[in-house]
């Protein structure tokens, strides 16, 4: 009996020891944070987050690879709870929704590719390249529909996906399975940040429009008498539809496919018609805005550039204040365009629409005199965008003895030359001065700066030494007068403390290496100051919303990302400068959107680089050189008034379309895609059905 008990006890000890060892060997550590997040998730395992179940998503959230708001089955309360567990703050975010981006499907294609029994888009794309007519368009096999975990996609009779918005959760499953990038997630933020790529099914007119307006879509709304919908589409990319409808140089019409048959669609006049209907009704059609983030942004400059940047930044959910030195908003739009081309009440209507969307404006307030970049940052603005414009911003103070200093330590070369050795304009010159550009007079400017207190004067030129077109004597004078001279370089960043510039970062344009030099002054050979984004940095307090009284504010100035047409350019005042593209207000509007996108990306530590395959001036796109089954239809002519009859008989030279003319003109649109278009017989069928 005793022996049996001892034997059983021994076996128990052995088994217990074995289990203890096994538990050590096979023990799986569960991160308490992952466990807490997993407990909060609903356990739906729907895959909408992009992970195969809630547990893997919980692990991804804990590691920072997935957002606290990634669960599409939960709501904002769940996201807030997860953020609290992780010790993070939570900002409201507008919902994503899938949006197809193709005009025609395989059912309408003039030529089709035989799929040989394949029923999956990815297989067809990998094996055969898919459809042989359009390399971008939808393959139409419905992989997105079958993959959607919420039955939110159906395939139409035209072979295109249709998203059922009431069912779509924005999970992104359809986007992940589409091999052609046709169906993508869309939201206010995504649309504002978007730059078109070669993978997007864009139209020729859309690519030619500097603002990238979806022209076919707003013309479709006009043809259906949905003028409010048309204005909403326009305002997605252009907050000045009523103004631009009167003054745009219409580059879109140069690329309209109807040029291959007769005359281009009157794209801009149609824009004006829809915007005028809105203005006459006194009921605004505003585009969607993202939820409020609580972040304060300041824009300096109340011209078309600054107001556009403010409009798009406000739509991204941020709190905006625009500071304008003059007594009125609008810049050159108000000062330089005749009233019979652009009545001031029309300009005011568009500006009031920008204010209505959440943009505060302060006039008669000059940067460098009434406030500074540092004071704005100290007052709790998270970023300051300088969009002060060109020569027009200086006309009101040309007679003044003193020159304001909007950007600490930064002056125009003309200011240095005018102040002269006697410093008649009372410019503050620091010991370390950098002069960029103006090679022909840079040596003279250096002598003036030294006479006014500079000890070190350096030169930075964008050009190679051989490209400066200076004679040997001038080059020798430059290198003799400069503490050092840098060729083939772009200035990419400014840093400072309070109201003092401290350093300049420049980049070698060949090697892309960056260098930092001490500088109390930057002298620029240009007619205006650089348009940059300033933010607090450099101290432990930089993460706080506001600096404590008496503490210095450290800041940096960063350039918005480039116009895609000048994607290789870097540095302030480079070709295709971010905001002021000079040639038209529509280009300044486009630059304003890019600056708004840059402010948003800088605040959220996103990369400012342009996307791969971005459409630029050198991009080779699919296109057509002839149209079939399209008959010529006369373009509607804009009614006009003689200048001599203004303002007695009519207040504008161009009087605007009638509704009948607008609808007739809208039906001339061919509803183009990348290479597809709508032939006459199909347009007639649609018109009859409508």
pLDDT band at 4 (very low <50, low <70, confident <90, very high): low
Contact between 645 and 651 (Cβ < 8 Å): no
Tokens of 227: 């003028």
Tokens of 518: 């001490």
136-185: pLDDT as tens digits: 888 888 999 999 999 999 998 878 899 998 999 888 999 999 988 889 99
Q: If you count DSSP H runs as helices and E runs as strands, how many of each does the chain have, helices first? A: 24, 18
How far is the first Cα of the chain from the last one, in angstroms, to the nearest whole number? 99
3-class DSSP assignment, residue 666:
helix
Residue percentage of the chain with pLDDT more than 90: 51
Q: How many CA atoms lie within 13 A of 424 on its CB side?
A: 9
Mean pLDDT for 588-615 is: 92
Contact between 322 and 306 (Cβ < 8 Å): yes
Gap between the Cα atoms of 524 and 155, Å rounded: 58
640-669: pLDDT as tens digits: 988 888 888 888 999 999 999 999 999 999
pLDDT band at 525 (very low <50, low <70, confident <90, very high): confident
- How far is residue 578 from each of residues 309, 495, 531, 581, measured CA to CA in Å? 11, 20, 8, 7
pLDDT for the residue 476: 82
- DSSP code per residue over 553-564: -EEEEEPPPPPG
- How far is residue 99 from each of residues 145, 184, 460, measured CA to CA in Å? 13, 5, 47
Mean pLDDT for 86-93 is: 66
Classify residue 647 as exposed, middle or buried by CB count within 10 Å of its CB (0-12, 13-18, 19+): exposed
Rounded to an integer, what is the distance from CA 689 to the centroid of its chain? 38
pLDDT > 80? residue 277: yes
pLDDT for the residue 231: 97
410-442: pLDDT as tens digits: 999 988 998 999 998 889 999 999 999 888 888
Highest mean pLDDT among 21-25, 96-100, 539-543: 96-100
Mean pLDDT for 471-487 is: 83
CB atoms within 10 A of CB 166: 6
pLDDT for the residue 544: 47
Contact between 540 and 548 (Cβ < 8 Å): no
Mean pLDDT of the chain: 85
Mean pLDDT for 74-88 is: 71
Q: With CA atoms as reference, report the closest residue to 284 among 242, 324, 256.
A: 242
Q: Which residue has the higher pLDDT, 659 or 398?
A: 659
pLDDT for the residue 401: 47
For residues 144, 147, 153, 158, the Cα torsion angle rounded to the nearest 10 degrees is 40
pLDDT > 50? residue 611: yes
Q: Which of 100-104, 214-218, 323-327 has the lowest mean pLDDT?
A: 100-104
Tokens of 487: 């060729």
Crossing angle of helices 215-223 and 267-281, in 10° steps, is: 60
Mean pLDDT for 501-512 is: 94
Contact between 489 and 458 (Cβ < 8 Å): no
pLDDT for the residue 676: 85
32-57: pLDDT as tens digits: 777 777 777 777 666 667 676 787 77
Gap between the Cα atoms of 643 and 340, Å rounded: 8
Any idea what DSSP says for residue 367? B
Residue percentage of the chain with pLDDT more than 70: 83
DSSP H or E run through 313: helix 304-315
Any idea what DSSP says for residue 95? P
Gap between the Cα atoms of 451 and 449, Å rounded: 5
pLDDT for the residue 60: 79
Q: Please give the biggest Cα pair distance in the chain.
A: 128
Beta bridge partners of 457: 433
Long-range contacts of 422-428 (CB under 8 A, 24+ apart): 423/452, 425/401, 426/401, 426/402, 427/403, 427/452, 428/521
User: Beta strand 521-524 with 514-518: parallel, antiparallel or unpaired?
Assistant: unpaired
- What are the structural domains of the chain? 10-85 (1.10.15.40), 97-186 (3.30.70.20), 204-286+622-689 (1.10.1060)
Crossing angle of helices 227-235 and 267-281, in 10° steps, is: 110
pLDDT for the residue 541: 45
For residues 229, 232, 234, 235, the Cα torsion angle rounded to the nearest 10 degrees is 170
Mean pLDDT for 273-285 is: 96
Gap between the Cα atoms of 457 and 439, Å rounded: 13
Contacts of 401 (CB under 8 A, 6+ apart): 424, 425, 426
In the block, residue with structure tokens 């081309």: 341
pLDDT > 60? residue 581: no
Classify residue 148 as exposed, middle or buried by CB count within 10 Å of its CB (0-12, 13-18, 19+): buried
User: Beta strand 183-186 with 97-100: parallel, antiparallel or unpaired?
Assistant: antiparallel
Contacts of 76 (CB under 8 A, 6+ apart): 69, 90, 92, 93
Q: Which residue has the higher pLDDT, 5 or 370?
A: 370
């Amino acid at each position: 009996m005793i022996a049996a008990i001892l034997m059983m006890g021994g076996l128990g000890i052995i088994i217990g020891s074995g289990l203890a060892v096994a538990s050590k060997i096979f023990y799986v550590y569960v991160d308490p944070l992952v466990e807490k997040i997993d407990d909060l998730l609903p356990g739906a395992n729907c895959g909408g987050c992009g992970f195969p179940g809630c547990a893997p998503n919980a692990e991804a959230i804990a590691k920072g690879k997935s957002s606290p708001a990634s669960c599409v089955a939960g709501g904002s309360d769940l996201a807030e709870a997860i953020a609290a567990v992780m010790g993070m703050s939570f900002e409201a975010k507008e919902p994503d929704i899938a949006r197809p981006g193709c005009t025609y499907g395989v059912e309408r294609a003039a030529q089709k590719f035989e799929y040989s029994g394949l029923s999956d888009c990815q297989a067809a794309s990998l094996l055969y390249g898919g459809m042989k007519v359009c390399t971008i368009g939808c393959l139409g096999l419905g992989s997105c529909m079958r993959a959607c975990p919420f039955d939110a996609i159906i395939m139409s009779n035209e072979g295109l996906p249709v998203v059922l918005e009431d069912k779509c959760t924005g999970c992104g499953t359809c986007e992940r399975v589409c091999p052609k990038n046709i169906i993508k997630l869309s939201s206010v933020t995504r649309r504002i940040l978007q730059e078109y790529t070669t993978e997007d099914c864009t139209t020729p007119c859309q690519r030619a429009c500097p603002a990238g307006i979806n022209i076919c879509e707003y013309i479709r709304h006009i043809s259906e008498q949905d003028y409010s919908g048309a204005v909403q589409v326009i305002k997605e990319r252009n907050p000045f539809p009523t103004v631009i409808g009167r003054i745009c140089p219409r580059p879109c019409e140069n690329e309209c496919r109807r040029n291959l048959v007769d005359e281009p669609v009157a794209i801009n006049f149609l824009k004006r018609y829809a915007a005028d209907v809105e203005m006459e009704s006194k009921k605004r059609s505003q585009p969607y805005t993202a939820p409020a983030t609580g972040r304060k942004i300041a824009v300096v400059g109340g011209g078309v550039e600054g107001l556009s940047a403010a409009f798009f930044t406000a739509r991204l959910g941020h709190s905006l204040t625009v500071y304008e030195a003059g007594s009125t908003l609008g810049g050159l739009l108000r000062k330089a365009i005749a009233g019979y081309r652009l009545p001031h009440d029309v300009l005011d209507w568009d500006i009031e629409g920008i204010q209505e969307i959440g943009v505060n404006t302060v006039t008669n307030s000059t940067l460098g005199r009434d406030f500074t970049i540092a004071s704005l940052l100290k007052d709790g603005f998270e970023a300051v965008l300088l969009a002060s414009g060109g020569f027009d911003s200086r006309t009101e103070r040309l007679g003044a003895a003193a020159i304001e200093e909007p950007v600490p330590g930064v002056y125009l070369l003309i200011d240095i030359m005018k102040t002269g050795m006697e410093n008649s304009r009372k410019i503050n010159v620091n010991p370390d001065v950098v002069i960029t550009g103006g090679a022909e007079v840079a040596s003279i400017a250096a002598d003036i700066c030294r006479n006014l207190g500079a000890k070190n004067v350096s030169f930075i030129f964008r050009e190679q030494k051989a490209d400066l077109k200076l004679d040997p004597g001038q080059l020798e004078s430059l290198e003799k007068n400069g503490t050092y001279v840098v060729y083939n370089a772009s200035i990419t960043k400014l840093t400072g403390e309070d109201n003092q510039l401290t350093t300049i970062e420049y980049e070698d344009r060949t090697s892309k290496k960056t260098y930092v030099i001490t500088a109390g002054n930057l002298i620029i050979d240009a007619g205006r100051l650089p348009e940059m984004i300033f933010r607090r940095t450099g101290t432990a307090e930089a993460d706080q919303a506001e600096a404590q009284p008496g503490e210095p504010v450290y800041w940096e100035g960063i350039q918005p990302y480039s116009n895609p047409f000048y994607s290789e350019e870097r540095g302030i005042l480079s070709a295709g400068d971010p905001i002021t593209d000079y040639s038209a207000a529509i280009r300044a509007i486009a630059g304003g959107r890019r600056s708004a996108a840059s402010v948003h990306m800088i605040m959220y530590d996103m990369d400012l680089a342009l996307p791969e395959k971005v459409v630029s001036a050198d991009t080779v796109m699919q296109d057509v050189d002839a149209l079939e089954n399209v008959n010529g239809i006369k373009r509607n002519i804009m009614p006009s008034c003689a200048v001599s009859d203004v303002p007695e008989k009519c207040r504008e030279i161009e009087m605007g379309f009638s509704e009948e003319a607008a609808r007739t003109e809208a039906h001339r649109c061919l509803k183009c895609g990348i290479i597809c278009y709508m032939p006459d017989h199909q347009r007639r069928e649609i018109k009859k059905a409508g």
